[in-house]
Structures are given as structure tokens and as C-alpha cells.
Amino acid sequence: MYRSAGLEASNFVAGVDKAYIIIMGISLVFLVALTVIMIWFVYRYHEKRNKVATQIPGSNRLEIIWTAIPTLLVLLMFYYGWIAYRPMRNPPPDAMKVTSVARMWSFSFQYENGKRSDKLILPVNKPVKIDLLSVDVIHSLFIPAFRVKEDMVPGQEKFMWFTPTNLGTYDLFCAEYCGLQHSYMTSTVEVLSEEDFNAWYVDTTLVIAGEAEMPGAAGFAILQVNGCNACHTSDGSRLVGPSHLGVYGQPRMVLRGREKIEVVADEEYIKRAIYDPEYEIVEGYQKGLMQSYRDVLTDDDIKLIIEYLKGLNEKR
């Protein structure tokens, strides 16, 4: 949702749009010209008008013209594309640093003070450099209104930078097909005034709107920030993974290797499912879709998540 319609949302919009318009304009001219020439040739050299075959001599001048003109036009398109792209690889040294971690199927954003969010929260008119990390497969962080997109490749150091220039809320997508729930891998960029951003930045609460009054609200916030709700619901409905509703303290059938056993979803089971999700797979669900959160969540985080799961049982 681009709430600042008609205004440039980042410092790269003008350059990218200019390159796009030039490339599209040249392509349109060639489309019309070649279509007209093709129709003329069909009419002019139809068999009804050419009963006898004729040899048309070649023309060096024509060969040079239709080689030179397209070459110059391609170089022109390259030039405007290059001058739009080149600044994207040179972030200013004073840019604010954010780390984006992508996993199937969510983004999380980590700030220098340790704060984490499932949305990209930024101050207006301040350059930001985003280090791009993927923990599983190739993802791609795409913010259409800012005209920036960069792949996130496991094991590679990638980054993007830009300066948001208008207040508002903007769509953020994964633009690389990354599995079953790829279309759910979305988020937003919220560009705030410097005063509002600073207030948010120093606020350490984890309460998510609409969940503040329920038991374990901080646990819900941790799940939200880490994208767990993209695969697990809290209302009993089925997604890629089992619902959180009614999980805690209940027996469930799991596959441990090739062995089917019944376990109780106690604190140890919840911790094991988060840190080593491949060890036990709930019957009826697919293996290999969840990555370990061992390096992401602490034991204290898991305790808060367990409190949230207990609270869901009370809501039933």
C-alpha cells in the first residue's frame, strides 16, 4: 500500500523510472516500426503482385544503418540503466544499519540496539543499509515503491541501501519463489518521522496490537517477529505446520525417524520442536519445511512462547 501516491518514496525512484521509461519507449518505437514494416512487406510482396521471382541486390549502406542504429540504442539503454544502478552499490558511511533475516516464509529485521521486528521500521530522510541474510533457500527482498530489489542467497554477503524520502507504509515482498508458502512471505515498510522512530527504537516492549490483554502476549510477539504465524495458526486451522491452539500438554503422534510414537507436548517437547524441528515430525505433516531457531531464539524466548501456548489452552 503506497500511501504517498505521486511522490518519490526513495532516492532511487527517479533514476530507475527514467531508465524504465527510456527502455520502454525505445522498445515501443521498435514494436510499432517493425510491425508496420512487416505488414507492408506482406502487402507489397504478396504472390498476387509478384508472379515472377526477382533478385533484389544487397545494400551495404542499409546493412550499416540497421546495425549501427540498434547498437547505439542498446548502448543508450545500458547507460541509463548503469547510472541508475551504480549508486545502489555505494552506501554512505553514515547509513543506519539493519540486518534482514529471511527464512521460509518470513522476514525479520534486527537493529543495532538488538531490537527485532517483523516490519521494517525506518526514519524518513535517513540512509539505511540492510545486510541480507538467508538461513535456508534463495529469497529476494523487494520494495516496489522504493525501486529496490536484491536476492538473499545462503552463505553469501549481500546488502541493499536506500534513503526513504516520504512518510507512509509500503509493501515489501519476497520476489523469489521459495517454496509452498512463498505468496505469504510479505511484510511492510513503515517510514516514520525522526521523532516517532526514535520513540519506537528505544521502546523495548514486545506487545502486538490486539494481543496485549491475553496471557503470554510477549510470547505471541516473539512468534510474530520471527514469522512463525506464516505456517502455524492460533485458531485451530491447518497451514503448513500444526496449529498452536490446544498444543501444550496434549498427546500427539509424531514420526521419529521411521518410528511412530506418542509424545506429550510439554516444555521439553516445545523446546525440542523449535531447536531441532527435524527430530520429530507431527503425523500428517511434511518433513523439511522448518528450519532450526537455535541461533535465533533464547531459552527465555521459548519460556515466553510456552506461556503463550498455555494461554491459548485457556481460550478454548
Give 253-311 pLDDT, tens digit per residue. Answer: 888 888 888 888 888 888 888 888 888 888 888 777 777 888 778 888 888 888 888 88
Query: How many other C-beta atoms are found inside a 10 Å radius of the C-beta of residue 310?
Result: 16
Query: Would you state the cell numbers that stand for residue 79, as one nine-digit string?
Result: 547507460
CATH number at residue 237: 1.10.760.10
Let me know whether 44 and 183 are in one domain: yes
Q: Which domain holds residue 32?
A: 1-204
Q: Is residue 278 part of a domain?
A: yes
Q: Where are the alpha helices (DSSP H) in the chain?
A: 13-44, 60-85, 194-202, 217-225, 267-275, 299-315
Let me know whether 233 and 165 are in one domain: no
Q: Is residue 137 part of a domain?
A: yes
Instruction: Of 198, 38, 193, 10, give the one whose Cα is nearest residue 115.
Output: 198
Let me know whether 100 and 3 are in one domain: yes
Q: Is residue 209 part of a domain?
A: no
> Count of domains in the chain?
2
Whole-prediction pTM: 0.70
Q: Is residue 212 part of a domain?
A: no
- Can you tell me the distance from the alpha carbon of 110 to that of 141, in angstroms, rounded to the nearest whole number? 15
Q: Is residue 272 part of a domain?
A: yes
Q: Is residue 210 part of a domain?
A: no
Domain boundary among 149, 177, 204: 204
Query: How many other C-beta atoms are found inside a 10 Å radius of the C-beta of residue 98?
Result: 20
CA angle, residues 241, 253, 300, in degrees to nearest 5: 60
Let me know whether 9 and 130 are in one domain: yes
Query: Would you state the cell numbers that stand for residue 59, as one nine-digit string?
Result: 545494400
Q: Is residue 104 part of a domain?
A: yes
pLDDT tens-digit readout, 116-145: 888 999 999 999 999 999 888 999 999 999
Cis peptide before 66, with omega less than 30 degrees from 0?
Answer: no
